[in-house]
Amino acid sequence: RQTSTAARRLHRGMASKVGVVGLGLMGHGIAQVSAEKGFDVVAVELEERFLDSGMTRIQQSVGKIAAKAVAKGKMDQASADAHVASALGRITPTTDLGALASCDVIVEAVIEDLSLKQKLYTDIGKLVHSECVIASNTSSLSIGAMAPFTGRPKQMVGLHFFNPVQLMQLVEVVKTEDTDSAVFDRAMQYAKDLGKTPIECIDTPGFVVNRLLIPYLCEALLMYERGVASAADIDTAMRLGASHPMGPIALADYVGLDTTYNIIKGWDKQFPGQFKVPASLAAKVAEGKLGRKTGEGYHKWV
Ligand code: CAA
């Protein structure tokens, strides 16, 4: 049934095969939701060990979501098992970038290193077909700084997902001055096909969410540094006083203190005097306490 979903999409001129490059925190989630929604997925990592850890994460997450659906009575066990098997069966893990040649949408989710991404886009640009949407999941780099390296700037957009991709509803779809409108429409459609809600945005630092969120997280860290309240109480305040699902300091830990630091540090350099880099944030990163992923940041994570 799922394969025929892909075939139907292809027949309607829609994306059918998705390539995801990088199976880390974001990439594994993008590959997973694409497969769960019936896309054939080529999942590329440059090293076998990262491919294995990404696929393990996908297996755990897809299993967890299916088990929950069973527990809530939304699916019986047999359908849940079939869903897990067909989603996993639709993902082809590989270390061969060449496998992207047949993809209709490619989402790059490698680390936020501009020169690494530019090199990757040079290779990807040579492989893809002329209808392919080339998308970066970058949260802090300019799409326009990568697009020319593809040799196909009209085909490039940003597709910015949120962590955890499996649960977060939003996708920011980012266009540059060169993005072709048909390519942009296909990117919007892909986000909708994933069951997400896309918003349209121009190529500007932080797009919409991070431009608002990162300064807010940093304000909370500065407040903590001033001794206004404990980290736990600042979090409780925003959970119960503003109905946020997570307090800002827990969220900084959840996003990753290295990611938060790199974004605010980059903006501070780009726009001197407009942003404040919390000293405690720089110190945590220097200590290797990066939040949830290392087990400790401002909070301890078990
Ligand atoms: N796969 C499968 N299941 C997952 C999961 C994943 N990746 N992540 C969480 N879950 C599960 C949890 O284990 C939990 O399962 P159980 O009920 O069996 O324990 C379930 O989903 C729901 O989790 P919670 O009970 O903790 O429920 P919640 O309602 O608090 O939802 C949350 C969790 C969605 C993470 C919520 O706390 C939330 O929305 N937090 C804010 C997240 C956020 O703001 N993300 C954006 C960060 S910014 C960003 O990503 C952009 C950037 O570029 C930096």
Asked if residue 6 has pLDDT above 80, the reply is no
User: Considering only CA atoms, which of 54, 51, 55, 59 is closest in space to residue 84?
Assistant: 59
Question: Is 160 assigned a catalytic role?
Answer: yes
Contact of 67 with 59, CB cutoff 8 Å: no
In short, whether 34's Cβ falls inside 6 Å of ligand 1 is no
Q: Which residues contribute to the annotated binding site for CoA?
A: 61, 72, 139
| Number of the ligand 1 atom closest to the C-alpha atom of 29 | 7
Cβ partners under 8 Å of residue 236, min gap 6:
247
What average pLDDT does range 61-69 have in this prediction?
A: 96
Q: Which of 175, 173, 127 is nearest to 151 (CA)?
A: 127
- Exposure string over 180-207, b if 16+ CB within 10 A, otherwise e: beebbebbbbbbebbebebbebebeebb
pLDDT tens-place string over residues 186-240: 999 999 999 999 999 999 999 999 999 999 999 999 999 999 999 999 999 999 9
> What is the pLDDT confidence band of residue 1, given thresholds at 50, 70 and 90?
very low
Query: What is the share, in percent, of the chain residues with pLDDT greater than 70?
Result: 95
Q: Considering 172, 181, 244, 296, which one is annotated as catalytic?
A: 172
pLDDT of residue 3: 46
Work out the percent of the chain whose per-residue pLDDT is above 90: 93
Q: Could you please report the per-residue DSSP string of 176-189?
A: -TT--HHHHHHHHH
Mean pLDDT of the chain: 94
pLDDT of residue 5: 60
Q: Give the pLDDT confidence of 231-289 residue by residue, as tens digits.
A: 999 999 999 999 999 999 999 999 999 999 999 999 999 899 999 999 999 999 999 99
d(CA 251, CA 249): 5
Rounded CA-CA distance 191/28 in Å is 16
Tell how far the Cα of 168 is from the centroid of ligand 1, in angstroms: 7
Q: Which atom of ligand 1 is nearest to the CA of 209?
A: 51
Instruction: Return the biggest CA–CA distance within the chain.
Output: 60
Provide the CB-side half-sphere exposure for 170 (13 A, CA).
Answer: 12
pLDDT tens for 176-197 read: 999 999 999 999 999 999 999 9
Closest residue by Cα to atom 25, ligand 1, is 245
Q: Calculate how far, in angstroms, residue 25's C-alpha sits from the geometric centre of ligand 1.
A: 13
Model confidence pLDDT, tens digit, residues 86-128: 999 999 999 999 999 999 999 999 999 999 999 999 999 999 9
Whether residue 192 contacts residue 9, with contact meaning beta carbons closer than 8 Å, is answered with: no
Given the DSSP bridges, would you call strands 156-161 and 133-136 parallel, antiparallel or unpaired? parallel
Q: What is the Cβ-side half-sphere exposure of residue 67, based on CA atoms within 13 angstroms?
A: 6
pTM here is 0.93
